[in-house]
Amino acid sequence: MSTRRRVIAASLGLGALVLVAAEPAFAQAVSPQWRFLTFGVFAAIIALTMYVTYLAAKRVKTTADFYAAGGGVSGLQNGWAIAGDYLSAASFLGIAGLISLYGYDGFMYSVGWLVAYITVLLVIAEPCRNIGKYTMGDILAFRNNPKTVKGFMAISTITVSTFYLTAQMVGGGVLVKTLIGIDYEYSVIAVGILMLGYVIFGGMVATTWVQIIKAILLVLASLVMVLLVWSQYGFAGPEYFQKVIGDAKVQARVAGLLGDAAKNMTAQDLGQRFLEPGLYLKSPIDQISLGMALVLGTAGMPHILMRFFTVPTAKQARISVIWAMAIIGGFYVLTLFLGTGAAMLVGAPNIVATDPGGNMAAPLLAQFLGGGPDSMLGNLMLSFVAAVAFATIVAVVAGLVLAAASAMSHDIWVGVVKGEHATDAEEKRAARICTLIVGALAITIGILARGQNVAHLVALAFAVAASANLPVVLLTLYWKKCNTGGVVAGLIVGTLTAIGLVLVSPNMTYPLQIKAAQQKIIDTNAPKIEKLSADIAAATDPAAQEPLKKQLAAAEKAKTGAEAAIARLGNDTTSLVGLSKPLFELRNPGLISIPLGFLAVFIGSLLYRDRRAEEIWDELYVRSNTGIGRAAAAAH
């Protein structure tokens, strides 16, 4: 790396720092007097990752270094990096939040994310290491028409990465805005610039190390928080759950969720209900559909598969998945305690007040454990958790951008456009240019998607990966008759059905349904406001007026909120694709789109018939099982 590049790298890092630090604004979670702590911790973590990038940049000499860290990552290191890729803000903040608000259902939701790795471990990781080189397209090109399958696979890779990326960018923007109060646009740009710094200068080497550092920080922070929560309850064993169900805040939350059904329940029953299913997940079929997308989709995620090209052998690929499963599973068990701890110590009303989705449960718990919103230690801990969450988003986005950029440069530019005729220097330059393009795209989409409900995009990314990417990779590796026709059919059918079904599903915005729901809120609150106003007027004692005024304010807020929601929709009556109500009732399309994706590969392969694909089968199968002739690790 030239001196000029190094200077640019350093100034990019500084630029991102200034962006984070210079934006004065209101804060919701950290009061202004403690703002310097947040900046200090953010600066320290960003500086650490930039230093790692600087060291990594010196080691990125060839294209193999850029795409796959030269195959020189160990199983243990890769295991932490996979955990880092996977423990995105969605699972760290999201699952802890779901448990804090809905108890059992949040915990059950986390299980699928771990089980997904069994598929990766048993049937994907090792053959992919033996057959592939840099991208998913490489695996398919082994026995199919390289230009065709690389082109289609690259499109699918970029589609999946973009969905996931958009969700991360928007989530990151909202998170940083909530935590330290800088503007949404600036947080998105800061995430984008930092991420570009890691990827362009440090390639896969820097991306891997940033993932490792961030995963270790995340696990350490969670461990400390769990120990602190536990110490509040005297390190109790099973009695800890007795405290959970006996907690007044938990009982009040369940009563609020159940509404009228809670009237005849005792306090103890309400608490127990928190540990039973059904408070959040109402549709079992939808859960099964999501489970299918997770269990099969993880193994089709380009940024996860790409990690297996960074280790030298299939055995190291296996070891890395086993480490990743230990770390990810252990982490989800910790979130059970983070979530229930936040439910008791912070309480649902405070969590929802900062973020209705519950994403702030873990940071608020950190603040409480350190001594509360007015203490220095509390805010230091909040800042630390916030900075780790920020680093998480940047690192996950870096992995996704690298996956999309490799598909663009290695599969489309070198594979399709140049017909595999490009020098190493040309390809490395193309990879960096593509990174810049994808990065600019990510920042633009992130800013454009402001205020959109993007939570379902993560589920959609998994659904496309499970319906298109996994069937074609799995059948290329394990089915003799699979060929180019099947791969193209599978990618097209899997991607289009997954996206198509989501477009007509309840995930989309249906103005008429929302207007009806909001109108109901107005109708219930209007008489309440009248009654409360009358009561306040009647009450002479100021002490008696106080709680009534609070209730009145809440009711008025609900009413104006509903009115604003209706006003925002204007005269819209139909969804994006012109529907007034969903055509397809499931939020997760996997149940239908995954079997269709597999079916398309079968039918496409049988109709197309390709002698070459069958002739190369022996070679592919022998090599995927023995590792003979695999892409060797670069000497470092």
DSSP annotation of 589 reads T
Which one among 287, 298, 435, 476 touches other proteins, defined by CB under 8 A?
287
Q: State which residue, 170 or 245, has the beta carbon closest to other proteins.
A: 245
DSSP, residue by residue, 239-277: HHHHHHHH-HHHHHHHHHHHGGGGTT--HHHHHHHTTSS
Q: Is 288 in the site for other proteins (CB under 8 A)?
A: yes
Q: Which stretch, 14-22, 316-324, 371-379, 406-414, contacts other proteins (CB under 8 A)?
A: 316-324
Instruction: Give SS3 for 24.
Output: coil
Q: Which stretch, 165-173, 199-207, 324-332, 518-526, contacts other proteins (CB under 8 A)?
A: 324-332
At closest approach, how far in Å is the CB of 612 from other proteins? 13
Q: Is 477 in the site for other proteins (CB under 8 A)?
A: no
Torsions phi, psi for 234 (to 5 deg): 60, 30
Q: Is 87 in the site for other proteins (CB under 8 A)?
A: no
Q: Secondary structure of 109-139 in the HEC alphabet?
A: HHHHHHHHHHHHHHHHHHHHHHHCCCCHHHH
At closest approach, how far in Å is the CB of 239 from other proteins? 7
Q: Is 107 in the site for other proteins (CB under 8 A)?
A: yes
Q: State which residue, 166 or 469, has the beta carbon closest to other proteins.
A: 469
Nearest to 496 by CA among 592, 582, 609: 592
Query: How far, in whole angstroms, is CA 455 from its chain's centroid?
Result: 9
Q: Which stretch, 38-46, 121-129, 457-465, 537-545, contacts other proteins (CB under 8 A)?
A: 121-129
Q: Which stretch, 20-28, 206-214, 322-330, 344-352, contacts other proteins (CB under 8 A)?
A: 322-330
Torsions phi, psi for 528 (to 5 deg): -60, -45
Q: Is 248 in the site for other proteins (CB under 8 A)?
A: no
DSSP annotation of 630 reads P
Q: Is 57 in the site for other proteins (CB under 8 A)?
A: no
Nearest to 94 by CA among 393, 394, 462: 393
Total residues in contact with other proteins, by rule CB under 8 A: 54
Q: Is 295 in the site for other proteins (CB under 8 A)?
A: yes
Q: Give the up-direction half-sphere exposure of residue 408: CA atoms within 13 A in the CB hemisphere.
A: 22
- Sort residue 234 into left (φ over 0), alpha (ψ -120 to 50) or beta: left
Residues between 251 and 280 with contacts to other proteins, criterion CB under 8 A: 271-272, 275-278
Torsions phi, psi for 539 (to 5 deg): -75, 125
| Per-residue x/- track, 157-196, other proteins (CB under 8 A) | ----------------------------------------
Q: Is 622 in the site for other proteins (CB under 8 A)?
A: yes
Query: How far, in whole angstroms, is CA 78 from its chain's centroid?
Result: 19
CA distances from 119 to 113, 335, 466, 539 (A): 11, 23, 11, 65
Which one among 523, 625, 632, 636 touches other proteins, defined by CB under 8 A?
625
At closest approach, how far in Å is the CB of 99 from other proteins? 11
Which one among 12, 149, 169, 245 touches other proteins, defined by CB under 8 A?
245
Residue 107: its H or E element: helix 104-119
Nearest to 518 by CA among 462, 564, 562: 562
Q: Is 205 in the site for other proteins (CB under 8 A)?
A: no
Q: Which stretch, 238-246, 302-310, 365-373, 550-558, contacts other proteins (CB under 8 A)?
A: 238-246
Q: Is 54 in the site for other proteins (CB under 8 A)?
A: no
Q: Is 321 in the site for other proteins (CB under 8 A)?
A: yes
At closest approach, how far in Å is the CB of 584 from other proteins? 19
Residue with tokens 């393009």: 437
Q: Is 627 in the site for other proteins (CB under 8 A)?
A: yes
- Tokens representing 14 are 């500084």
Taking the C-alpha atoms of residue 635 and residue 400, their distance in angstroms, rounded to an integer, is 26
Q: Residues near 217 by Cβ (< 8 Å), separated by ≥ 6?
A: 45, 388, 391
Q: Is 284 in the site for other proteins (CB under 8 A)?
A: yes
Q: Given the rule CB under 8 A, which residues bind other proteins? A: 104-105, 107-108, 111-112, 114-115, 117-119, 121-123, 238-239, 241-242, 244-245, 271-272, 275-278, 281, 283-285, 287-288, 291, 295, 315, 318-319, 321-322, 325-326, 329, 332-333, 618-619, 621-623, 625-629
